[in-house]
């Protein structure tokens, strides 16, 4: 994935229900910043020169994190999501990462089923917390 893919990737995200985006992190500038820090671990899938799916993955040197994995609904059930995840996991492993985490909204049944099929287990011993350091607008798809 490159910053030039932003418009098509954003359109893909917006076509997928159950995602949580925001106006700062997921802006063109925010995604460009993320891709600059993680140039080898984020991927898109294409069919007929159209982006059909995307995955943002990166790490802090210790743990890998996956964000915004999406496949356009018209292209699902073709192995695209699994291929994107496998590419990201392989890239993270090549950078020395041995464990990967992600967050899925509890109400996103399809997303949770997908991750469970790929061997990502839910952790009942954690409470996810966050704190915004500036005002952001949340966008739920």
This prediction has a pTM of 0.94
Q: pLDDT tens for residues 36-95?
A: 999 999 999 999 999 999 999 999 999 999 999 999 999 999 999 999 999 999 999 999
- Torsion sign, CA atoms 124, 13, 100, 137: negative
The whole-number pLDDT of residue 69 equals 97
The whole-number pLDDT of residue 139 equals 93
Q: pLDDT tens for residues 1-29?
A: 999 999 999 999 999 998 999 999 999 99
Count of CB atoms situated within 10 Å of the CB of 13:
20
DSSP designation for 108:
-
Average pLDDT over residues 104-124: 94
What are the residues whose beta carbons fall under 8 Å from the beta carbon of 33, sequence distance 6 or more? Answer: none
Query: Considering the chain, what is the average pLDDT of its residues?
Result: 96
For residues 111 and 69, give the distance between their C-alpha atoms in angstroms, rounded to a whole number: 9
| φ, ψ for residue 78, nearest 5 deg | -125, 5
């Amino acid at each position: 994935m490159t910053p030039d893919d932003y418009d098509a990737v954003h359109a893909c995200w917006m076509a997928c229900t159950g995602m949580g985006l925001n106006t700062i992190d997921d802006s063109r500038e925010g995604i460009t910043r993320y891709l600059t820090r993680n140039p080898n671990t984020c991927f898109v899938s294409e069919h007929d020169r159209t982006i059909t799916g995307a995955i943002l993955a990166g790490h802090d040197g210790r743990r890998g994190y996956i964000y915004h994995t999406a496949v356009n609904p018209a292209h699902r059930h073709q192995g695209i999501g699994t291929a994107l995840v496998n590419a990201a996991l392989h890239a993270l492993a090549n950078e020395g990462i041995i464990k990967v985490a992600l967050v899925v909204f509890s109400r996103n049944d399809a997303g949770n089923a997908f991750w469970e099929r790929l061997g990502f287990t839910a952790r009942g011993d954690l409470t996810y917390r966050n704190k915004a350091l500036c005002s952001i607008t949340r966008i739920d798809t």
